[in-house]
Amino acid sequence: MSSPITQFDRFEDRVPIDVFVVSPNPKLQQELQEKLGPPRWNVIQATSGSGALEVLHKHGTDDGVLLLDPLLPDLEPNEFNAIVRDRFPNTQILMLNSHTGQLLVGSASPTPISTKLVDVVNRNGAVHTNTVLPTVVDHESSRHHLQDGRFKLRGMIGESEPMQRVSIVTRMVAVRDTTVLVTGESGTGKDLVAQEIHLISPRRKQPFIVVNCSAIPETLLEAELFGYTKGSFTGAVQSRIGRIHAAHGGTLFLDEIGDMPLSLQSKILRFLEQGEVQRLGGNDNLKVDVRVVAATNADLKKLISQQQFREDLYYRLAVFPIHLPPLRDRLSDLDELATAFVVRFHPGVSLSREALHVLAQHRWPGNVRELRNAIERATILVGSGHEIKPEHIIL
């Protein structure tokens, strides 16, 4: 199966993305004007920080790409970045070295990618274009990019290549209304990816509603999702909107979607396709504007073959799949994860090298959740001590 990155390579944007080139260097301005252009890019130029703010306000964009030369004549880069982030929070800032053409990745990141911007943009083959992570790296070169530039999701910890790929594709899809299916073993952090998608999307100021499909009894799940009218069943003393309606304008996170009853899956499919819900006991179709992110630790294709999951619903959910690796496949993140949990549960304690060695030998079938619990136990068992040792690790 091809990776999400490979699948995204086949996507071509029909709407040009605004690229604001801010540099006092006329040679660089001219080069980028020639190399970046329709149909993929709409280049807008400014030679100063104040000029850039003026054109940003004029174009009214909140989802463009800003290529910034730090040698501005009128504003310090940090000051300029702060203003842009405050007024245009969805505009991604990429730093440029006007002398070398080197692209520095991230929100004014100091870490360069070892390639020329123009080379990256005009690389042969399919490219990624999006508004939050507009580094337009192709699939084959992304591995090299990860070695030099780091992308990080706010709620997730890890510098390993698998997690860097998750970060990249998550930021790519977040700005669109595309339905996302997050897969991975239990405890890998699928809920954190769903939250991140919402938090960096244009819907971030609207509701983020979570429904755990395995935690709500089958007899109640339909009413929870779609709502009900007064008198529609025993105990329905008043009408109530469902969680889908409550997510209007925002994001609905359907966790453990693989456990959704087959009888309810057709109604979810109808909601996804038509953007409408009908309350239990009601006759009116209510229009809703909701972005859906689903997650599962189940093998949905296996469930399809067992006729326990609808194939058409699977393809409607998996428009953009993101797979989270198990902890055993990213053990290079173990030290950072364990340290972060120690700081959370007992800030005055450190992890001994011997304790870290014990952690590294474990297979972690429960993934990050299991590690979190192990560290929490250790911070209790260490008592008044200042260092977690192997005897404090219970697995």
CA–CA distances in Å: residue 153 to residues 18, 80, 198: 24, 23, 12
Burial degree of 235 (CB within 10 A; 0-12, 13-18, 19+): exposed
Average the pLDDT over each of 105-119, 228-242, 291-305 and give the range with the smallest value.
105-119
DSSP 295: E
Closest CA to 392 of 377, 368, 354: 377
pLDDT score at 110:
36
* Tally of CB atoms within 10 A around 15: 9
Q: What's the confidence (pLDDT) of residue 99?
A: 52
257-302 residue pLDDT tens: 999 999 999 999 999 999 999 888 877 888 999 999 999 999 999 9
Which carries the bigger pLDDT value, residue 79 or residue 135? 79
pLDDT band of 307, cuts 50, 70, 90? very high
CATH 3.40.50.300 placement within the chain: 177-323
Whole-Å CA distances, 308 to 19, 166, 212, 263 = 47, 28, 18, 10
> Which of the residue ranges 131-135, 166-170, 335-339, 341-345 would you say has the lowest mean pLDDT?
131-135
pLDDT over 70 at 237, yes or no: no
Output the pLDDT for position 97: 57
What top-level class would CATH report for the domain 177-323? alpha beta
Q: What is the pLDDT of residues 38-62, one digit of tens each?
A: 666 778 888 887 888 888 877 765 5
CATH T-level fold of 327-392: Helicase, Ruva Protein; domain 3 (1.10.8)
Residues in the chain: 395
Tell me which of 23-37, 141-155, 307-321 is least confident: 141-155
pLDDT digits (tens, 9 = 90+) for 166-211: 988 898 899 889 999 999 999 999 999 999 999 888 998 899 999 9
Tens digits of per-residue pLDDT, 158-172?
Answer: 888 899 889 888 988
Region 2-24 average pLDDT? 53
Whether 348 has a pLDDT exceeding 60, the answer reads yes
Predicted confidence (pLDDT) at residue 358 exceeds the cutoff of 90: yes
pLDDT at res. 326: 96
What confidence score (pLDDT) does residue 356 get?
94
Q: How many CA atoms lie within 13 A of 65 on its CB side?
A: 26
CB-based contact 180:141 (threshold 8 Å):
no
Residue 14's pLDDT is 44
In the predicted structure, residue 115 carries a pLDDT above the cut 80: no
Which pLDDT belongs to residue 78?
A: 67
Q: Is the pLDDT of residue 155 over 70?
A: no
Lowest-confidence pick of 72-86, 205-219, 273-287 = 72-86
The pLDDT value recorded for residue 25 is 80
Domain boundaries for CATH 1.10.8.60 within the chain: 327-392
- 122, pLDDT greater than 50: no
pLDDT of 322 over the 50 cut = yes
- For residue 43, give every residue at least 6 positions away whose Cβ sits within 8 Å of its Cβ, in sequence order, or none: 19, 21, 32, 33, 36, 37
Average pLDDT, the chain: 78
Residue with tokens 């700005």, as numbered in its chain: 175
3-state secondary structure at position 238: coil
200-211 CB burial, b ≥16 within 10 A, e <16 = bbbbeebebbbb
Q: Which of 34-43, 70-79, 145-154, 301-310 has the least mean pLDDT?
A: 145-154
Residue 303 has pLDDT above 80, yes or no: yes
Residue 354 has pLDDT above 70, yes or no: yes
Candidate from 124-133, 184-193, 298-307 with smallest mean pLDDT: 124-133
pLDDT for residue 280: 82
Measuring CA to CA, how many Å separate 147 from each of 96, 111, 155?
Answer: 19, 10, 21
Residues 6+ apart with CB under 8 A from 361: none
Average pLDDT in the 133-140 region?
29
Architecture category of domain 4-150 in CATH: 3-Layer(aba) Sandwich (3.40)
What are the φ and ψ backbone dihedral angles of 302, each rounded to 5 degrees? Answer: -65, -40
- pLDDT, residue 50, reads 80
